[in-house]
């Protein structure tokens, strides 16, 4: 597997996020203008895109935010989510990031807890799906 960094939304990112978040999970408002201005990672199995995430520095809040981690269905359960998350954390460290925040679906809670994140908010809802904020010090 190789992971490539992009500074805009690519065709591969759109395809994976559409499959996972829109088709599988039923989200409607998946893409936003921000996606064209921030960092994205794409994981490839040879030339096939199999996973994505995004991360950016929120200047207003003065924090790094990670999100939109998605692995296509046939590649899940192979520890790829952890690999792409660690890669994003390394990029953030190189930018002198000290802490990462993410808005996790409650269904992903255990994954992020195992990766060293802690819950730091009450439950809120994004398109009727329960989420909470989590953070990790680097």
DSSP bridge partners of 99:
137
pLDDT one-digit tens code per residue, 29-60: 899 999 999 999 999 999 999 999 999 999 98
Q: Model pTM?
A: 0.93
Range of the domain at 83: 2-98
CATH of the domain at 93: 3.40.630.30
Does some domain include residue 110? no
- Kindly write down the DSSP assignment for every residue of 71-116, as one continuous string: E-GGGTTSSHHHHHHHHHHHHHHHTT--EEEEEEEGGGHHHHHHTT
Does some domain include residue 107? no
Domain count, the chain: 1
Average of per-residue pLDDT across 74-84: 95
State the Cα–Cα distance between residues 100 and 88, nearest whole angstrom.
10
């Amino acid at each position: 597997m190789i992971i490539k960094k992009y500074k805009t939304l690519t065709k591969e990112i759109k395809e994976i996020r559409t499959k996972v978040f829109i088709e599988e999970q039923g989200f409607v408002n998946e893409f936003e203008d921000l996606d064209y201005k921030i960092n994205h990672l794409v994981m490839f199995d040879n030339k096939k895109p199999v996973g994505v995430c995004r991360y950016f520095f929120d200047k207003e809040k003065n924090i790094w935010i990670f999100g939109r981690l998605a692995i296509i269905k046939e590649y899940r359960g192979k520890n790829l989510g952890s690999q792409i998350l660690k890669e994003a954390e390394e990029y953030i460290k190189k930018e002198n990031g000290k802490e990462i925040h993410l808005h996790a679906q409650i269904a992903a809670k255990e994954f992020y807890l195992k990766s060293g994140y802690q819950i730091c908010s009450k439950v809120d809802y994004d398109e009727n799906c329960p989420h909470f904020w989590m953070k990790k010090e680097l």
